[in-house]
Amino acid sequence: MRLRWLPAALCCSTFAIATMDSRSNCYAQVAKPQLIVAEAAVAQAVIDESKDTSVVVVAINSLESVVPNIQHIARTVGVGAAAGTISTLVNQYSTGLDKKRPIGVFLDLDESGQPAPVGCLPISDLTAFFDQLSVFGEPNDLGDGLYEFSVGAPIYARKVGDWLYIAQSEDALTGIAAGKGNSLANMVQKYDVRIQANPQNIPDDLVDFIIGQMQTGLDQAMAAQRENMEPDEAAAAKASSEQMIAQMQEGIEGTEKMVLGLSINKQEKKSILDFGSQFVAGSKYAKQMEKAQASKSAFTGIPQENSMMTLQTVQLVEAEDIAQLEKTLEASLKAAFNAIDEKSKDAASAAKAKDFIARGVDILVETAKQGKLDSAVDVGAEGALNIVASIAIADGSKVEALASDIAKEAAKENGPFELKIGTGKYLGVNLHKATLALPPQADEAARRVFGSTATIAIGTSPKAVHVAIGKNCDESLQKAIDRAAAKPSGQAEMLKMRFALTQLLNYMQTIQPSPVAEAMLSSAAVGNDRVMIDSQSSERGAVVRLTLEDGVMKAIASGVKAGQGAGGGF
């Protein structure tokens, strides 16, 4: 049979594992130059106990703190001239503001459910602040600290204590308290900008309306597409969309707050972006976080600190999610099988392809039923590209049996793909070997990466599958098995990734040199060239942290400039 279905099936299975919904979060770095947070406390620090009745709050740290950080980023990416412009503009239009206190926007909902934003400015001299706005006309003093401006439409401002609140209606400012602005300081202790959404402050009837509108839109879209879809394809699309809507509703109802925080750290030359969630006590997601804190991974030893890229994920799967997963996969399989039948000219080959795919999906579902999907990837580029991936499996013998049947079919074809089963044994792991001869038309870059034949070393054990790709795949596989055996169980992170840009650029230059990569290398500095993702769960909460070191931003900016000068592209 022709094995053109096999690569697609393997890719789909891998993608499904990699993209299973992960409600995780991050740990590890510094959030403000003046404040270092211990790694173990990051999730709790991000998802703090700040309360607010607004649906959304946007908090911006003091101008005294934010402006120098913006200028630092401008200089980092090579637009230093903009740094002076930024300072000039801020000084020009911030007269009368207290530059040591934060600025904010509170988004509330009025009685009709419409958004009613209220701006919040720290005032030190109200007269001076109004004087700079004289170009818009003099404010109309309505008494009791309330003012009206006419800027096409009326804008209202009320001074309460040392805060000035601004809104589009008088009603939005009625009864507003000075303490509302005081809450901003706590929100930006660790960030330059923090956005917090409070789903529990959305009225239930509005949530129902939003979900209802989404369902109506889905039904209309499905009706429009149904004519061009096979019944099985339509069923798969409908099941997937309905699952998405159900998860969204469950997410709104089960989430207490969501936080997005940005911090620029000049001292450590990095920028940090935190994505955090705190869930309602007793909710499905809160219970998941409790389990996540106690979760272990079998592959914490796979990633290596000096590698070009590492990735580790642990995804918890709840029992109630399995039925929906099976339903979605069943509909997707039917659609895929129909496509195979339409395109295949050989009924026997089509039947084999469908059998292989179905068995692969069964292995995935059986693994998910164990309650956890555990995997790790390590990519090295020292001299040659070497990729190692390890995945926990419910029953490794089924993987081995499937591989054996695929090997038999490949042997019948006598084509460029060959799979040998049982080539050896290492530390209790059964070894196998796959090779794929590159076609004559393969470009030179591919041959530099893989040689004339791409080789894949595979290891199967009762509960895991290890795969190594590259010229040194046998050695890479054995070293990965060694590392996994040396550290068979470690504290799991829902998501952890490391990527060293200069290693990638240096490797690219050995494969296919380009002026863009050269320009990026000239700007990137080893030791300050990493992109990092970390996650940490806490009681009822989780945080995912993206850290971007300054060297990455410098390299990207240099690459863009070089690409523009050379007509773009690598």
List helix spans (H) across 315-441.
319-343, 347-368, 396-413
As a whole number of angstroms, the distance between CA 509 and CA 192 comes to 37
Pick the closest to residue 558 from 521, 507, 526, 506 (CA basis).
521
Pick the closest to residue 368 from 398, 402, 395 (CA basis).
395
Q: How far is CA 292 from CA 353, 369, 491, in A?
A: 37, 16, 10
As a whole number of angstroms, the distance between CA 144 and CA 324 comes to 58
Q: Tokens 């230059």 — which residue?
A: 509
Q: Exposed (0-12), middle (13-18) or buried (19+): which is 319, by Cβ within 10 Å?
A: exposed
Q: What is the value of pTM for the model shown?
A: 0.83
Q: What is the pLDDT of residue 60?
A: 96
Pick the closest to residue 6 from 453, 359, 363, 532 (CA basis).
359
Q: Which residues contact 26 (CB under 8 A, 6 or more apart)?
A: 42, 43, 274, 275, 533, 534, 535, 536, 543, 544, 545, 546
Residue 323 CA from chain centroid, whole number: 26
What is the β-pairing status of strands 115-122 and 163-167? antiparallel
Pick the closest to residue 11 from 486, 351, 348, 467 (CA basis).
467
What is the β-pairing status of strands 309-316 and 296-297? unpaired
Q: What angle do CA 276, 278, 283 make, to 5 degrees?
A: 140
As a whole number of angstroms, the distance between CA 452 and CA 450 comes to 7
Q: What angle do CA 479, 500, 314 make, to 5 degrees?
A: 60
Supply the DSSP string of 470-510, one letter for each residue: ETTHHHHHHHHHHHHHHS--EE--SEEEEEEHHHHHHHHHH
Helix (H, G, I), strand (E, B) or coil at 429: strand
Q: What angle do CA 417, 419, 423 make, to 5 degrees?
A: 150
Q: What is the pLDDT of residue 232?
A: 66
Averages of pLDDT over runs of 10 residues in the chain (570 residues) are 35 30 32 35 52 87 94 89 84 91 92 87 94 83 89 88 92 83 90 93 84 82 72 71 80 90 94 93 86 89 94 88 81 84 84 92 93 94 91 95 93 89 95 94 88 94 96 94 92 91 92 91 85 89 94 92 66
Q: In this structure, which amino acid lies at residue 144?
A: D
* Radius of gyration (C-alpha) of the chain in whole angstroms: 28
Helix (H, G, I), strand (E, B) or coil at 518: helix
What is the β-pairing status of strands 153-160 and 495-500? unpaired
Q: What is the pLDDT of residue 356?
A: 93
Q: What angle do CA 530, 190, 33 make, to 5 degrees?
A: 60
CB 80 within 8 A of CB 557: no
Which two tokens mark 288?
């998941």
Which two tokens mark 214?
């989404």
CA dihedral 410, 412, 414, 415 (to 10 degrees): -40
Q: What is the pLDDT of residue 7?
A: 33
